[in-house]
Amino acid sequence: MTRVVADISVSLDGFVAGPNVGLRNGMGDGGMQLHAWAFSDDPDERRLLQRGTDRSGAVIMGRTLFDVVDGPEGWSDEVGYGAEEVGRPPFFVVTRSAPASVRLAELDWTFVTTGLADAIGAARESAEAVSATHGKDVDVVLMGGGELVGSAVNGGLVDELVLHLAPVLLGSGTPLFRDPVPRTLVQRDVVVTSNATHLTYDVR
According to DSSP, the β-strands at 56-62 and 185-192 are unpaired
Question: DSSP character for 106?
Answer: T
- In degrees and rounded to multiples of 5, residue 15 shows phi and psi of -105, 140
Q: Could you give the number of structural domains in the chain?
A: 1
Quote the domain boundaries for residue 124: 4-203
pLDDT tens digits for the chain (204 residues)? 899 999 999 999 999 999 998 888 889 999 999 999 999 999 999 999 999 999 999 999 999 999 999 998 899 877 888 776 667 899 999 999 999 999 999 999 999 999 999 999 999 999 999 899 888 899 999 998 899 999 999 999 999 999 999 999 999 999 999 889 999 999 999 999 999 999 999 998
Q: What is the CATH number of the domain that holds 24?
A: 3.40.430.10
Q: Give the Cβ contact number of residue 122 at 10 Å.
A: 18
Say how far apart CA 99 and CA 118 lie, in whole Å: 18
Q: What is the pTM (predicted TM-score) of this model?
A: 0.93
- In degrees and rounded to multiples of 5, residue 27 shows phi and psi of -95, 5
